[in-house]
Amino acid sequence: MNASAAIRAYNKVGVESGVTAADPHKLIAMLYQGALLAIANAKNGILRNDIPAKGKAISHAILIIDNGLNASLDKEVGGDLALNLSALYDYMSKRLLTANMNNDMAALDEVAHLLTDLKGSWEEIRQPAILPTLPAKRTAQAVQLVYARG
């Protein structure tokens, strides 16, 4: 096993362990962090003119946003907030597609900024009272799906 493969295996185990031990609130924070990391990798791919790496990283960010963050929303319980977040996640995915087609660093920066703001807000609301209302099983499944495809 080469060093790169060993690092990937280590990271996969670390993520899977984190998912298993995390509460629903932490799982969403992990999705935000994963999307931000994927966007940073995409920017590095553009800077290195590594088109396959850029495409893979952007695809991973879209996967996290669509199949992780957006899929974990409970639109029936969450009302307008969940619907607005869903629309924002759709917008982010479209911007990431634009970034991929045009090597658009500004679009990557825009999505990273939006995700950073949402992640910060998410971390500020952590209270024991909200934990039971989060869709724990759906969120955990979304995180595992996203990282399994990573």
pLDDT tens digits for range 18-35: 445 567 888 999 999 999
pLDDT in tens, 65-80: 999 999 999 988 889 9
C-alpha–C-alpha distance, residues 146 and 139, integer Å: 11
Domains of the chain as residue ranges with CATH: 3-149 (1.20.120.340)
pLDDT in tens, 57-115: 999 999 999 999 999 999 888 899 999 999 999 999 999 999 999 999 999 999 999 99
Whether the per-residue pLDDT at 3 is higher than 90: the answer is no
